[in-house]
Amino acid sequence: MAQDLAKPAGEIVPAAFDADGNQFGYIHSIETGAAVDGPGMRFALFVSGCQFRCLYCHNPDTWKLHAGKTWTVDAIVAEIAKYASFLRIAGGLTISGGEPLMQAHFIGEIFRRAKNELKIHTALDTQGFLAAHLPDEYFDNIDLVLLDIKQMNPEKYEALTGKPLQPTLDFAERLFKMGKKIWLRYVLVPGWSDDEADVQLLADYLAKMAHDYPEVLERVEVLPFHKMGENKWEELGLKYELGDTKPPSNEVVHRVREQFRAKGIFCC
């Protein structure tokens, strides 16, 4: 079925407040020394809720919004503040998921206070699927977007994630036009996202955007597939479709990275 382009994809949950008027949301987990979720050492906040059903998801326990633990904005900001003096010089805050934009009101307030009160670098790890619901000004308190594009072939993308590709590309183009810094993340899954032609489509697309809007795309991160979350699928009674899939070979990882580098894109 063709997507209605006049209507934003998906839904953002309404802002929630407790009996005392404190805004709250649902948190899956916190990592205080994350080294792979943006520049430097990060306070990584993983929120619950995701509309995607990626076949290789390593945190399917984040899919359900209310499966997370309830935290108020005040409590989260107070927790981040414990590390703020270190984070100002060594890294910053990254909000990931799940899909953080499902709780856009909640994380937006956390980003606002982290940026304006704690004065730390901020990063959002997202697929961008829900971003059409939000104005450009929403992203003013976000320094960096870790954007996940999982395939450039629309049919393969939907088979891999359960959602259409176009909203993510629309968001990518908005970020370029806004001049918002991007780290593009590409998970390399044998049989799903390692085809040379598909990778070339993405490399060409990014090279064109980078040419039109220079100094926005800072890097592409090629992330080799792993099965670290397979046991979580089993614990949740879900069938893990990629049980027989092996990690990509070093040769394939090198080839994919070189495809991006050949277009003048920094890739790691």
> How confident is the model over 118-170, as pLDDT tens digits?
999 999 999 999 999 999 999 999 999 999 999 999 999 999 999 999 999 99
Classify burial at 251, counting beta carbons within 10 Å of its beta carbon; exposed 0-12, middle 13-18, buried 19 or more: exposed
pLDDT at 224 over 80: yes
Q: How confident is the model at residue 228 (pLDDT cuts 50, 70, 90)?
A: confident
> How confident is the model over 14-70, as pLDDT tens digits?
999 999 999 999 999 999 989 889 999 999 999 999 999 999 998 899 999 999 999
> How confident is the model over 69-82, as pLDDT tens digits?
999 999 999 999 99
Residue 36: CA atoms inside 13 Å, Cβ hemisphere, count? 5
Q: How confident is the model at residue 7 (pLDDT cuts 50, 70, 90)?
A: low
Give the chain's domains with CATH numbers.
Answer: 22-262 (3.20.20.70)
Place of tokens 């809007």: 213
pLDDT at 183 over 90: yes
Angle at 257 between CA 34 and CA 266, to 5 degrees: 70
* Residue 193 near residue 186 (C-beta atoms within 8 A): yes
The pLDDT of residue 9: 74
> pTM of the entire structure?
0.94
> How confident is the model over 239-252, as pLDDT tens digits?
999 999 999 999 99
The pLDDT of residue 209: 97
Spatial CA neighbour of 99 closest among 137, 55, 148, 143: 148
Share the mean pLDDT of the chain: 94
> How confident is the model over 81-130, as pLDDT tens digits?
999 999 999 999 999 999 999 999 999 999 999 999 999 999 999 999 99
Spatial CA neighbour of 197 closest among 156, 140, 234, 248: 156
Helix ranges (H only) for 84-242 are 84-90, 104-116, 154-161, 166-178, 196-212, 230-235
The whole-angstrom separation of Cα 119 and Cα 131 is 24
